[in-house]
Amino acid sequence: MKIILYDEGTSGELDLTEIARYTGKKLGKVEVELRESLFAADLSPEIIAEYARKIAGAKVQDVSQRMEAAQEPLYGEVEFEKRRLTGKSRAFGVLYDGGWLRSVFSEAIPAEKRQLDCLHIIFTNRMFGSWDDHNKRYHLRTSLYSVPSIISTTGIIEAPARPREYYVLKQQYQSLGKDPTALKESFQGRFIDYEDERLTEVTKGYVVQAVVYHLTGDPFCEDRGCRLYNAHWQEDLIYAQLESGYEFCTRHEEILGKAGENNG
Ligand SMILES: [Zn+2]
C-alpha cells in the first residue's frame, strides 16, 4: 500500500509534513508521498477553466434540494473557482455536494498515480455536504471516504455540533449585540475553531479513518475513545482525538499493526 496526501488549499491550517510523518510511523514501512497541490501548477488556462466549471457545478444552490446532476454554473462562480485553482484565493464560503466534488477531484489525480492499492487522501478547506434523505437536506461533513478520500478542515470545525449551551448563549449575545469573541473564549477548548493549533493533531485521526476504510470498508468505530469514532459533537471529537488516553481500540490497533507488518 502507498498513501498519497494532496493539499487542495488548506490555507496553512494543517501541518501536512507532520501528518505525513505520523501516517508513515503508524503504518510501518508504508510509503507516504506528500504532494503540494492536487491541481498541477502547469495546467493550461483551458484545463483550469474546465476544472473550474466542473467544481462550480458541484456547488449546492439550495440545501433543501438534492442535486441530481451537476449544475450549470454562472460566469462569476466559474471565475471564483479559477481564482481558487490558481492560488489567488483561499475563500471557503461555498458548500459543495461531496459526491460531485469527489468526482472532479478524482479526475485531477495524475494517471500514473492511479494504481491499485494506492490510497489518495485530499485535504481541503472547502465545505462539502451529503444529502440526508431522512431530513431532506444537505448535512455538512468532515470527511468523505471513497476513492479518493477527502478531509475538510472547515468541515472538522463546522460539521460536528458545538455544545448546546454555546448556541443558546450565542443567540443571547446576538440579541444583546454583545461581542461573540468573549463567548468563544468562555468555551475555549470545547470545540475546534479556525486557526486552532489542535487541528493538525485531530486531522491525523481522520487520515487513519481513511486508511481503515481502505483496508476494511468501514472507517468508523463504536468506541468513543477510539480515533475512528464518528463524532457528531465537537466534545466527542475532542475526546476521541485528544483526550481519551489511547489512540485506537484494541481491534483497530491490531488492524493497523497487521497492515504495517504486511508493508514491512
Ligand atoms: Zn476502534
CATH number belonging to domain 2-263:
3.40.390.10
Cα–Cα separations (whole angstroms), residue 96 to 4, 101, 153, 207: 23, 7, 14, 21
Q: How far is the CA of 209 from the centre of ligand 1 (A)?
A: 10
Select from 71, 125, 134 the least CA-distant residue to 100. Answer: 71
SS3 (DSSP) at 35: strand
Q: What are the domain boundaries of the chain?
A: 2-263
Summarize pLDDT for 8-38 with one digit per residue, the tens: 988 788 999 999 999 999 988 789 999 989 9
Query: pLDDT (tens digit, 9 = 90+) per residue, 88-105?
Result: 888 888 999 999 999 999
Reduce the DSSP state of residue 168 to 3 states and report it.
helix
Phi then psi for 250, rounded to 5 degrees? -55, -45
Ligand 1 centroid to 227 CA: how many Å? 7
Instruction: State yes or no: pLDDT of 264 exceeds 70.
Output: no
Instruction: Read off the C-alpha cell for 144.
Output: 468523505
What pLDDT, on the 0 to 100 scale, is given for residue 40? 83
Rounded distance from Cα 118 to ligand 1 centre (Å): 23
For the chain, what percent of residues have pLDDT higher than 90? 73
Q: What is the pTM of this model?
A: 0.94
Å from CA of 239 to ligand 1 middle: 13
Strands (E), the chain: 2-7, 31-35, 95-97, 118-124, 127-132, 137-141, 143-144, 149-152
